[in-house]
Amino acid sequence: MSNSALQEMPPTDDAAARAQRLLEANINPRTGLATDYLNHFNEAIMLLEMVPDIPECIDDFLGWEPMSYREHFAASNFKARDLAISAYDSSDPALRTEFDNITTTMTSILTSVGAAMRQARHTETRTILAEQAAGWVKPLVTLAGAMINGGSSDADDVDQIMNR
């Protein structure tokens, strides 16, 4: 076997070792994504859900700052943050684009609601905004989590069942 043919063969030991490192770091080796990023959105949801009972949480929510996947890990104390960023950058571009579209939508909802809360004069209005935003973002976090974990969408599940 020529040297160039050997270089073209996939490094199975390296791939297995990388997959193991990803698993140990709580990064899905199939998708290259980590659920730790969703904590960024779950924090905002938690604050929004507290607003009806503790209106002072509005100020905490208004302090929430949007962060991209890379920004989140670069700023985090996640022990394998460089690996998380590298795995994200190496993930399937179509999956990453779909994932980024979902997280961009969540960010847009949260920042728009934050802007509306800043303009609202009444606590009741802010409470309604908080409840609606949490209701909009929670299913998107679930969808993003399914993508991270390599799950299929509901539509894919229905198609698979119907084709049996």
The CA radius of gyration of the chain, in Å to the nearest whole number, is 20
pLDDT digits (tens, 9 = 90+) for 45-96: 999 999 999 999 999 999 999 999 999 999 999 899 999 999 999 999 999 9
Name, in order, each residue with C-beta under 8 angstroms of 141's C-beta and a sequence gap of 6 or more: 38, 41, 42, 45, 106
User: Which string of DSSP letters, residue by residue, matches 7-36?
Assistant: HHS--HHHHHHHHHHHHHTTB-TTT--BGG
Alpha-carbon span 110 to 41, nearest angstrom: 9
Percent of the chain with pLDDT over 90: 79
Alpha-carbon span 7 to 79, nearest angstrom: 32
Asked whether the beta carbons of 150 and 28 are under 8 A apart, the reply is yes
User: Which string of DSSP letters, residue by residue, matches 111-157?
Assistant: HHHHHHHHH---HHHHHHHHHHHHHHHHHHHHHHHHHHTTPPPHHHH
Average pLDDT over residues 123-140: 97
Partnered with residue 34 across adjacent β-strands are 27
Average pLDDT over residues 117-132: 96
Using 50, 70 and 90 to split pLDDT, how confident is the model at 152?
A: low
Name, in order, each residue with C-beta under 8 angstroms of 57's C-beta and a sequence gap of 6 or more: 47, 48, 50, 51
| Ranges of each domain in the chain | 3-162
